[in-house]
């Protein structure tokens, strides 16, 4: 069993981004800019935004957080995004999810300029991903693909089971794997006999937010397990969706939680923002 060290890979990625940012500053007097919209006072969302802001500072980005109360109207959020769309200092826009129930997240995402959609959630980028065209790829699936690449894990022809069919992780992850010629099964809350699907898979990627969902009897010998889930237990411990201690000895590769996919998500956000900046600089 080999641990996939996402934390180390993320540090390497951030170092490369920082070097590119410094070069842009010195040669073009350009500083990448990222704007984050944070609605409400959800503690997990605040923690994520804080980590993203810290990472931006470390690589030399200009970043700003637009904090809004739970009571804000949808039209007010849209007006803020439209303002940011026209701001030449901002290359990337991120709306921290989830949003309050009275806000239509899909409509909010559609307002973002696709060229600044560094989360990769706009229908324009989703469509380009599905059709294998250059685009902004959602950060968590992109980070998983970078881990596969770094550890030289062959995907072509492999059977991959994705547990969770979200627009943020499951569906884009499936598109990326299909684009590289893996055979993909997507499972979800209504899937019958999840175990049958995971047992027949060379690769299992899970991200649903349910501790210990994937147990040892659901994993074949030599499988590759990517755990995207993150859950805080009553004792304060952070765990994924995989029963790590029981499963790890059956795997050829496995990601830990924390320290696996999580750090790579933030690293890919930085890479996507740099990509947006470089596209702006070329114009």
In-domain check, residue 225 = yes
Task: Please indicate, yes or no, whether residues 157 and 255 belong to a single structural domain of this protein.
Answer: yes
Residues annotated catalytic, as ranges: 52, 96, 119
The dihedral built from the CA positions of residue 113, 114, 117 and 119, taken in this order, carries a sign that is: positive
Task: Please indicate, yes or no, whether residues 152 and 247 belong to a single structural domain of this protein.
Answer: yes
Q: Which residues, in sequence order, are CB contacts of 29 under 8 Å at separation 6+?
A: none
The count of domains in the chain is 2
- Rounded Cα distance between 17 and 258, Å, is 23
In-domain check, residue 122 = no
Q: Provide the β-strand partners of residue 66.
A: 37
- Crossing angle of helices 261-282 and 43-59, in 10° steps, is 50
Question: Last residue of a domain, which of 87, 117, 147?
Answer: 117
Question: Last residue of a domain, which of 82, 117, 152?
Answer: 117
What CATH number should be reported for the domain holding residue 63? 3.40.50.10860
CA distances to 9, 47, 158 from 255, rounded to whole Å, are 12, 22, 18
What CATH number should be reported for the domain holding residue 222? 3.40.50.720
In-domain check, residue 282 = no
Q: In the β-sheet with 92-95, what is the strand arrangement from edge to edge? A: 62-68, 33-39, 92-95
In degrees, rounded to 5, the angle at the alpha carbon of residue 89 between the alpha carbons of residues 103 and 55 is 75
In-domain check, residue 202 = yes
Q: Provide the β-strand partners of residue 60.
A: none
- In order, the DSSP letters of the chain are -EE--HHHHHHHHHHHHHHHHHHHHHHH----EEEEEEES--HHHHHHHHHHHHHHHHHT-EEEEEEE-TT--HHHHHHHHHHHHT-TT--EEEEPSPPPTTS-HHHHHHHS-GGG-TT--SHHHHHHHHTT-S-PPPHHHHHHHHHHHHTT---TT-EEEEE---TTTHHHHHHHHHHTT-EEEEE-TT-S-HHHHHHT-SEEEE-SS-TT-B-GGGS-TTEEEEE---EE-TTS-EE-SB-HHHHGGGEEEE--SSSSHHHHHHHHHHHHHHHHHHHHHH-
pTM above 0.85, yes or no: yes
In degrees, rounded to 5, the angle at the alpha carbon of residue 126 between the alpha carbons of residues 271 and 196 is 100
Task: Please indicate, yes or no, whether residues 79 and 163 belong to a single structural domain of this protein.
Answer: no
Task: Please indicate, yes or no, whether residues 187 and 107 belong to a single structural domain of this protein.
Answer: no
In-domain check, residue 107 = yes
Task: Please indicate, yes or no, whether residues 110 and 181 belong to a single structural domain of this protein.
Answer: no
In-domain check, residue 38 = yes
Question: Last residue of a domain, which of 117, 149, 168?
Answer: 117
In-domain check, residue 34 = yes
- Rounded Cα distance between 237 and 253, Å, is 23
- Rounded Cα distance between 106 and 121, Å, is 9
* pLDDT tens, N- to C-terminus, the chain (283 residues): 999 999 999 999 999 999 999 999 999 999 999 999 999 998 889 989 999 999 999 999 999 999 999 999 999 999 999 999 999 999 999 999 999 999 999 999 999 999 999 999 999 999 999 999 999 999 999 999 999 999 999 999 999 999 999 999 999 999 999 999 999 999 999 999 999 999 999 999 999 999 999 999 999 999 999 999 999 888 888 899 999 999 999 999 999 999 999 999 999 999 999 999 999 765 5
Q: Which residues, in sequence order, are CB contacts of 69 under 8 Å at separation 6+?
A: 39, 40
In-domain check, residue 19 = no
Task: Please indicate, yes or no, whether residues 34 and 82 belong to a single structural domain of this protein.
Answer: yes
What residue numbers bound the domain in which 211 lies? 139-262
Are 268 and 139 spatial neighbours (Cβ–Cβ below 8 Å)?
A: yes
Task: Please indicate, yes or no, whether residues 169 and 212 belong to a single structural domain of this protein.
Answer: yes
């Amino acid at each position: 069993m080999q641990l996939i060290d996402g934390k180390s890979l993320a540090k390497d990625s951030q170092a490369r981004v920082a070097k590119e940012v410094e070069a842009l500053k010195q040669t073009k007097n350009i500083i990448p800019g990222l704007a984050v919209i944070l609605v409400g006072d959800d503690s997990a969302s605040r923690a994520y935004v804080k980590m993203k802001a810290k990472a931006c500072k470390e690589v030399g980005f200009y970043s700003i957080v637009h904090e809004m109360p739970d009571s804000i109207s949808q039209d007010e959020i849209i007006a803020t995004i439209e303002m940011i769309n026209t701001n030449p200092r901002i290359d990337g826009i991120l709306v921290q999810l989830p949003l309050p129930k009275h806000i239509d997240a899909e409509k909010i995402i559609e307002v973002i300029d696709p060229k600044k959609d560094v989360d990769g959630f706009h229908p324009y980028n989703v469509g380009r991903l599905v059709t294998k065209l250059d685009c902004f790829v959602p950060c968590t699936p992109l980070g998983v693909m970078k881990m596969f690449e770094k550890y030289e894990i062959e995907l072509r022809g492999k059977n991959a089971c994705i547990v969770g069919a979200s627009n943020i992780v499951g569906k884009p992850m499936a598109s990326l794997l299909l684009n590289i010629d893996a055979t993909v099964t997507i499972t979800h809350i209504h899937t019958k006999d999840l175990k049958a699907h995971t047992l027949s898979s060379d690769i299992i990627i899970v991200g649903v937010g349910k501790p210990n969902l994937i147990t040892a009897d659901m994993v074949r010998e030599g499988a590759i397990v990517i755990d995207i889930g993150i859950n805080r237990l009553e004792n304060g411990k952070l765990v994924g969706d995989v029963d790590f201690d029981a499963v790890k000895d059956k795997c050829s590769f496995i990601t830990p939680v924390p320290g696996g996919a999580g750090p790579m998500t933030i690293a890919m956000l930085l890479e996507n923002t740099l990509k947006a900046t470089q596209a702006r600089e070329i114009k």
